[in-house]
Structure 1
Amino acid sequence: MKNNNKSKTKDKLAWLYLCNLVFYFIPMFVDARELSDDLISLAIIPVYVLVYFQAYRCPTKQVHYPILGLLTLAIIATPFNSGSMALFSFVGFFCGFHYSLKRLAIIIPIIVLLLFGLNIWLFPNYYFFGYASAIYLALSLIGYASSQKGLANRQKQQSAEEIKTLATIVERERIARDLHDLIGHSLSSISLKAELAETLIQQNRLEEAQQHLSELAEISRNGLSEIRETVSDYKCKGLANTVTDLCKRLREKSLVVSLTSDIPSQLSARVESQLSLMLTELGNNILRHSQADECEINFEQTQTSLKVTVMDNGHCESISEGNGITGIRERIKALNGEFDYQTSPNCIFTIKLDIHKEQQ
């Protein structure tokens, strides 16, 4: 449907451009002429319009045929009507629109010499040559400029489509990474607990098996909660709600949580979304691995930058970077930011972002 509308608009413009033919008819009313000259001039127009539309719709590889047809009709009309310079103008436009500068450098001198020859043969002065050559040159340049503008628009549209496609691919990879980070760890733990519980049941160690089954249920609930939170983040829950929920989750696990600054506002949706996911991942790591009982979250925001610090008092000599930390690094890289951490005397994770660039 969209292509049909474009085609209809293009045809309407093609008819509109034919208004330039009014200059073809002016000599028929101004000059003293033979009736036969007027009849021949009028007879040429229907054929010219037919060939004009062929040139208008013709691909560049085949356009030389209708252009030659337009040029031939313009030459035939010239002995009967000096207004044929209007016919040469369409020839100039199509040449400029379809041909390269290198080819135009050959075609334009040939047409100008042709106009000069017609002028010497048919007219006592050089008015026809002057006007016709000027119009032909001007329309050739206009046609070439239109062609380049169309080419630039097509390239811009293609670039926009490519960027959109790449953005879609990146988003899919991000979602896949998030789900892998959340579900992969939970499913591994569930599988391990289930196998241990099965082994303990076979050994009739029911009390220990019951403990593992309880832990399995807890892991399942936590995994489901994390998935729901991640889906909520995809729905742009916002940084403030994410930090509030994270603090609540940490406190529910008996951690003392300190939020030592105001939560940033007026961040771009992209920064909010990515920062929310990174903080969620850091919170999950604290709950899973740190064995901490205190946690502190701090934001330092200026007009151009944002620094986020997450600190806990867990005991950790080193950090083995798994999918979670890798995911954070990939998100930081996408935002052109920095990510660093230390493990002694406390675990401190630091995120630095240039929010000025993101908001431009």
Structure 2
Amino acid sequence: MASFDKLESKLSWIYLINLIFYIIPLLTVDFAPWQYLSMLAALLLFLGCYFWAYRCSRQTMHWPIAGIVLVAALITPVNPGSIAMFAYAGFFIGFAYSLKRYLLLITMLMGLLVLLDLTLTIHWDLFLVMGIPIVLAVSFLGRAEQAKLHHRRAELQSEDEVKQLATMVERERIGRDLHDILGHTLSSIILKADLAEKLLARQQSEAAQQQLTELSQIARDALAQVRQSVSGYKHQGLTAEVAKLLNRLREAGYTAVLSGEIPQLDNRRETAVILALTELVTNVMRHCKGDQCQLRFARLGNRLIISLDDNGHATELNEGNGIAGLRERLAAIGATLTLQLNNGVAATIELPLQEAA
């Protein structure tokens, strides 16, 4: 689904099959030329409002709904098959509004149908008899679509909570490991350094050298243990993580496109690239005002070029602590990050591949 506030548009063309009620009179009744023209114009206006509704959020869907109702009401004296258009209006009303407002608006729509039947010459005796049940039934489908949307939102929110909890657990694990490792190690280093200082003051250089050698070994062992602890960050590989990030963008309403071949990297570089892309995608969803995003992988000689571009029409770049930390993380693997304004923000990661596994 494109967004939590929008309808899924994949089947929008197929749903137009319900316009058969509007098309049948064109094939079975002889109309004057001006009537054919008016019905064609009404159909085009309806289609414009119909697809407009699919692009709208629920908060702004009242505009295309009003347009559909107006077009349907104006064309009803010519073609009572306009009841199909009223049905689409009922669907969007069912989808867009809370129960209380839905009941009010659908009642007003039923009242409009009755008013049209009483005040206009409608050449279909079953306009109300069939029209009201059809509009109500289709509006219930809109309510069902809204319930489906809420259910999917709850599922995704639950997934996000699980991911956040897993991240918190992982951070706590790393914190505990670092505390256990560094607490004892730093105490030993301090003791060794103090002892070496005292030995040097007594001109016992050989003993002091021994203490410094042991201190160096303790520090090296601690560094290895810290790296082992931090490398406990688990992921499913660059390809799988890229797919997850693209899916997050699409769920947030972006048209996300991937181009190029995702390379194989050693675990250290792969982890750094995944964390960098995660940070960049998060920034896009937080700050970008656009609706398109493209992720590209390209190899240029012995360098890997990764670019993430959006169409957010940004006017300035504000690099906070997150970007600063990201540059440091990439620098640790010999990579660089470049940010540019180009009808949005274009982020480019350049990574040497000589040492890639």
Provide the TM-score with structure 2 as the length reference: 0.55
Rounded to whole Å, the distance in 2 between the matches of 1:234 and 1:50 is: 50
Rounded to whole Å, the distance in 1 between the matches of 2:172 and 2:185 is: 20
Name the structure 1 match of 2:181. 182
Name the structure 2 match of 1:26. 24
Residue 168 in structure 1 maps to residue 157 in structure 2: no
Give aligned pairs, total: 232
Describe the shift of the 1:225–1:110 C-alpha distance in structure 2 as closer, same or farther (beyond 3 A).
closer
More displaced, 86-95 or 213-222?
A: 213-222
Q: Report the Cα offset of residue 76 of structure 1.
A: 1.3
**Deviation digits for residues 321-355 of structure 1, max 9, x if unmatched?**
xxxxxxxxxxxxxxxxxxxxxxxxxxxxxxxxxxx
Rounded to whole Å, the distance in 2 between the matches of 1:111 and 1:78 is: 14
Describe the shift of the 1:133–1:235 C-alpha distance in structure 2 as closer, same or farther (beyond 3 A).
closer
Write the mapping of 1:310-325 to structure 2, written as runs, cut at 5 A. none
Describe the shift of the 1:100–1:218 C-alpha distance in structure 2 as closer, same or farther (beyond 3 A).
closer
Name the structure 2 match of 1:95. 93
Name the structure 2 match of 1:86. 84
Describe the shift of the 1:229–1:123 C-alpha distance in structure 2 as closer, same or farther (beyond 3 A).
closer
In the alignment, which of 48, 58, 62 is matched to residue 60 of structure 1?
58
Structure 1: unaligned runs, 5 residues or longer: 237-360
Give the superposed CA RMSD. Answer: 3.4
Which residue identity is paired with 1:179? L
Q: Report the Cα offset of residue 203 of structure 1.
A: 1.9
Structure with the bigger RCO (C-alpha within 8 Å, sep 6+) is: 2
Residue 149 in structure 1 maps to residue 164 in structure 2: no
Aligned partners of 1:119 and 1:126 also within 8 Å:
no
Describe the shift of the 1:89–1:225 C-alpha distance in structure 2 as closer, same or farther (beyond 3 A).
closer
Describe the shift of the 1:82–1:221 C-alpha distance in structure 2 as closer, same or farther (beyond 3 A).
closer
Name the structure 2 match of 1:330. none
Identify, as 1 or 2, the structure richer in helix. 1
**Deviation digits for residues 23-54 of structure 1, max 9, x if unmatched?**
21112223455554333222211122122222
Name the structure 1 match of 2:106. 108
Q: Report the Cα offset of residue 62 of structure 1.
A: 3.0
Which residue identity is paired with 1:83? G
Structure 2: unaligned runs, 5 residues or longer: 236-357
Name the structure 1 match of 2:36. 38
Aligned partners of 2:83 and 2:127 also within 8 Å:
yes
Q: Report the Cα offset of residue 133 of structure 1.
A: 0.8
Aligned partners of 1:38 and 1:80 also within 8 Å:
no
Aligned partners of 1:97 and 1:147 also within 8 Å:
yes
Aligned partners of 1:200 and 1:209 also within 8 Å:
yes
Describe the shift of the 1:206–1:50 C-alpha distance in structure 2 as closer, same or farther (beyond 3 A).
closer
Q: Report the Cα offset of residue 215 of structure 1.
A: 5.1
Q: Report the Cα offset of residue 220 of structure 1.
A: 4.6
Q: SS of 1:80's equivalent?
A: coil
Q: SS of 1:66's equivalent?
A: helix
Aligned partners of 2:86 and 2:135 also within 8 Å:
yes
Describe the shift of the 1:226–1:32 C-alpha distance in structure 2 as closer, same or farther (beyond 3 A).
closer
In the alignment, which of 12, 15, 37 is matched to residue 13 of structure 2?
15
Which residue identity is paired with 1:203? R
**Deviation digits for residues 189-213 of structure 1, max 9, x if unmatched?**
0221121122023124567646645
Q: Report the Cα offset of residue 22 of structure 1.
A: 2.4
Rounded to whole Å, the distance in 2 between the matches of 1:194 and 1:97 is: 71
Rounded to whole Å, the distance in 1 between the matches of 2:136 and 2:234 is: 58
Provide the TM-score with structure 1 as the length reference: 0.55
Aligned partners of 1:92 and 1:143 also within 8 Å:
yes
Residue 135 in structure 1 maps to residue 134 in structure 2: yes
Which residue identity is paired with 1:61? Q
Rounded to whole Å, the distance in 2 between the matches of 1:203 and 1:150 is: 78
Rounded to whole Å, the distance in 2 between the matches of 1:51 and 1:233 is: 53
Q: Report the Cα offset of residue 95 of structure 1.
A: 0.7
Which residue identity is paired with 2:54? Y
Write the mapping of 1:245-260 to structure 2, written as runs, cut at 5 A. none
